[in-house]
A = this chain, B = another copy of it.
Amino acid sequence: MSDENQNSDGGNNVGGIAGDHLRSFIERIERLEEEKKALSEDIKEIKNEAKGTGFDVKIINKLLSLRKMEDHDRLEQEEILELYKRAIGME
């Protein structure tokens, strides 16, 4: 956490590990993961906002997943599902 490693190789190269470099990678990744987490929280807020406006979040999620699906895939899946439902008499 602090700048306590200030020797020439910083004491960071231990047994062949380039400590500073490794630490840099780690920290860059952690930074990005924090951003991801923040985005997830933003999404959650929007859904709550939608809920407060009277929308059904469950349905919103369904819409989102439908929109993510390729149309082709969606149709195909619906067709197969219908087929199976008929096959077991659920229609």
| Chain A residues proximal to chain B, CB less than 8 Å | 1, 12-19, 21-23, 25-26, 28-30, 32-33, 35-36, 39-40, 42-43, 46-47, 49-50, 53-56, 58-60, 62-64, 66-67, 77, 79-81, 83-90
Are A63 and B85 interface neighbours, CB within 8 A?
A: yes
Give how many copies assemble into the complex.
4
Q: What are the residues of chain B within 8 A of A86 when measuring CB–CB?
A: 14-15, 19, 56, 59
Q: What are the residues of chain B within 8 A of A28 when measuring CB–CB?
A: 46
Q: A62-B79, A79-B62, A90-B66 are in contact. Are A84 and B22 (CB under 8 A)?
A: yes
Min CB distance A12 to B, Å, is 7
Are A29 and B43 interface neighbours, CB within 8 A?
A: yes
